[in-house]
């Protein structure tokens, strides 16, 4: 049996990512060389699944090697790739995954490791599936067979949770201390679920009418979660998604928790309040939301700090035909506006992104321990500048897609402690800040706070 070109391409991409390359760029390049749509989907699942579950697979390898597990990128990624086919995918016979592993191993890391790779994978296959080949086990059956290798009496709970749910141990310990173990396991489990395609129907277009138009375009959707949200009923190809976004300018892709949080932040906001600034606007989803809230009479400025992000923002605004937005290239903490210029400022600033890890299978492994604190310092400076730009009575809408207190509570509490010209802006229920937790909210993790300038 020859090397399957899709598996070979997947292994090359995994090595590239392990050595510091961009997953999005490497995967897009690989799919561009793969003409068959089924092969492109198979390639994406091989790569993204191997990255997402590599913590679980590393633990499993450690249970079956007598010495230290291999750490070189070609060997380690080959094991991830092979184990994902055996344990994480339906309709891939284990014997095929093991045979392809041997063939790929001859190419990289080299022929001398073929016996080691083959023996290790066969031992894991027998331990999980017995003498059968595993094709009769569904996903639940495979998980049940794997569990005993992770739940050891007396083992450290954080280590078990991290290994089983495939998350960095330091992050699991951090969440366990902050949220408790039940919540932490819920977050970790959520991060491994498939990501549904959720749209936001921009006001004033009718979401009920949108369902019919999308269905006619080949994208069946169900209303919700949320008043203006639509969820695709099944997986949508890139081609169909590009088609519907190109045809319907009133449509954006946006997580339901983000939709809910943005609506809460902008509650009561209208064109009558005065000009509004979106301080870190790219890729433009929240800018589109604000523009739809303000309507034709609103004055909205969207700013970002890098030319590539400005291009992304401009592309979004052009597609949704929102041509009244002023786009500005500038650093947030040096925003080139007169103090007191805006009735509201949205600061959805740069953060660790720990609330959206299910979208980025490599992101959890690239994240470093010091990132939340470092990002929190940056966010604090941006929040100070955003507050300066508010006119008296103006509203600061603070948001992150992080779960970390250094980037959330510490930033807004610090801002209020430093300044006597600010106060909280609670809603009717008395809440001025809210957290959306993955697994508890309708979508991803998100933090938002409303602060008003006195006067």
- Write the DSSP symbol of residue 318: H
Q: What is the CATH number of domain 5-150?
A: 1.10.940.10
Q: How confident is the model at residue 1 (pLDDT cuts 50, 70, 90)?
A: low
Q: What is the pTM of this model?
A: 0.94
Give SS3 for 5.
helix
pLDDT at 132: 62
DSSP 78-134: HHHHHHHHHHT-SS--HHHHHHHHHHHHHHTT-GGGHHHHHHHHHHHHHHHHTTS-S
Per-chain mean pLDDT for the chain: 95
Counting other chains too, the contacts that 229-234 makes at CB distance below 8 Å and 24 or more residues apart are: 229/198, 229/199, 229/200, 229/201, 229/254, 229/256, 229/259, 229/442, 230/198, 230/199, 230/201, 231/196, 231/197, 231/198, 231/199, 231/256, 232/196, 232/197, 232/198, 232/199
pLDDT tens digits, one per residue of 328-386: 999 999 999 999 999 999 999 999 999 999 999 999 999 999 999 999 999 999 999 99
Decide: 10 and 33 in contact? Cβ < 8 Å.
no
- Choose among 50, 21, 22, 47: nearest CA to 34: 47
| Bridge partners, residue 447, by sequence | 400, 435
Contacts of 157 (CB under 8 A, 6+ apart): 176, 181
Q: What percent of the chain shows pLDDT beyond 70?
A: 99
Statement: residue 131 has pLDDT above 90: no
pLDDT, position 9: 98
List pLDDT tens digits, range 237-257. Answer: 888 999 999 999 999 999 999
How far, in Å, CA of 438 to CA of 441, rounded?
6
Long-range Cβ contact pairs of 262-267 (< 8 A, separation 24 or more): 262/286, 262/289, 262/290, 262/399, 262/448, 263/289, 264/427, 264/434, 264/448, 265/346, 265/397, 265/399, 265/448, 265/450, 266/290, 266/293, 266/344, 266/346, 266/397, 267/427
- CA distances, 252 to each of 3, 200, 286 (Å): 40, 5, 10
pLDDT of residue 138: 85
For residue range 158-194, list pLDDT tens digits in order: 999 999 999 999 999 999 999 999 999 999 999 999 9
Predicted pLDDT of residue 296: 87
In this predicted structure, the answer to whether residue 228 has a pLDDT above a threshold of 60 is yes
Q: Which pLDDT score is estimated for 231?
A: 98
DSSP 443: S
Q: What is d(CA 54, CA 60) in angstroms, rounded to the nearest whole number? A: 10
Residues 300-326 have pLDDT tens digits of: 999 999 999 999 999 999 999 999 999
Domain boundaries, the chain: 5-150, 204-247, 257-453
How far, in Å, CA of 307 to CA of 155, rounded? Answer: 49
Is the pLDDT confidence value at 134 over 60?
no
Q: What is the pLDDT of residue 136?
A: 67
Cα Rg of the chain (Å, integer)? 24
pLDDT surpasses 70 at 135: no
Beta strands at 390-400 and 342-348: parallel, antiparallel or unpaired = parallel
**What is the band of 98 on the pLDDT scale with cuts at 50, 70, 90?**
very high
The CA distance from 453 to 451, in Å, is: 7
> Is residue 133 pLDDT above 70, yes or no?
no
Looking at the predicted structure, is the pLDDT value of residue 67 above 90?
no
Residues facing residue 314 across a β-bridge: none
pLDDT for 405-434, tens place per residue? Answer: 999 999 999 999 999 999 999 999 999 999
Domain range 257-453, CATH architecture: 3-Layer(aba) Sandwich (3.40)
The mean pLDDT value for 74-91 works out to 96
- Residue 454: what pLDDT? 97
102-123 mean pLDDT: 96
Q: What percent of the chain has pLDDT over 90?
A: 91
């Amino acid at each position: 049996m020859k090397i399957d070109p899709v598996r070979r391409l997947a292994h090359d991409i995994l090595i590239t990512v392990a050595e510091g390359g961009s997953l999005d760029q490497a995967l897009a390049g690989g799919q561009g060389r793969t003409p068959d749509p089924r092969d492109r989907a198979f390639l994406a699942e091989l790569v993204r699944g191997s990255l997402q579950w590599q913590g679980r697979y590393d633990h499993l390898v450690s249970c079956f090697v007598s010495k230290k597990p291999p750490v070189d990128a070609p060997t380690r990624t080959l094991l991830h790739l092979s184990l994902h086919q055996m344990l994480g995918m339906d309709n891939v016979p284990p014997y095929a995954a093991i045979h392809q592993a041997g063939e790929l191993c001859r190419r990289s890391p080299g022929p001398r490791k073929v016996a080691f790779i083959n023996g290790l994978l066969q031992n894991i296959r027998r331990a999980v599936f017995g003498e059968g080949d595993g094709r009769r086990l569904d996903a639940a059956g495979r998980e049940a067979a794997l569990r005993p290798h992770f739940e050891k009496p007396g083992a450290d709970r954080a280590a078990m949770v991290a290994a089983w749910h495939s998350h960095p141990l330091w992050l699991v310990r951090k969440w366990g201390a902050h949220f408790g173990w039940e919540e932490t396991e819920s977050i970790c489990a959520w991060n491994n679920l498939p990501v549904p395609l959720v749209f936001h129907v921009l006001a004033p277009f009718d979401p009920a009418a949108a369902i019919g138009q999308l269905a006619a375009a080949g994208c069946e959707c169900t209303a919700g979660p949320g008043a203006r949200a639509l969820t695709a009923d099944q997986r949508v190809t890139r081609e169909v998604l590009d088609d519907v976004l190109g045809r319907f300018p009133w449509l954006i892709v946006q997580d339901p928790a983000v939709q809910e949080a943005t609506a809460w932040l902008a509650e009561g906001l209208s064109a009558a309040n005065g000009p509004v600034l979106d301080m870190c606007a790219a890729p433009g989803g929240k800018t589109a939301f604000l523009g739809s809230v303000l309507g034709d009479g609103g004055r909205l400025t969207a700013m970002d700090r890098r030319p590539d992000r400005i291009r992304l923002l401009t592309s979004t605004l052009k597609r949704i035909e929102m041509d009244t937005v002023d786009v500005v290239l500038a650093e947030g903490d040096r925003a080139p506006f007169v103090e007191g210029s805006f009735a509201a400022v949205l600061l959805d600033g740069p953060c660790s992104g720990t609330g959206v890890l299910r979208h980025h299978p490599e992101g959890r492994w690239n994240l470093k321990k010091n990132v939340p604190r470092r990002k929190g310092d940056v966010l604090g400076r941006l929040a100070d500048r955003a507050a300066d730009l508010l006119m008296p009575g103006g509203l600061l809408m603070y948001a992150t897609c992080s779960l970390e207190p250094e980037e959330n509570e510490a930033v807004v509490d610090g801002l209020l402690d430093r300044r006597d010209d600010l106060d909280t802006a609670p809603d009717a229920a008395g809440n001025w800040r809210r957290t959306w937790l993955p697994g508890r909210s309708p979508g991803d993790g998100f933090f938002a706070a409303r602060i008003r300038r006195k006067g």
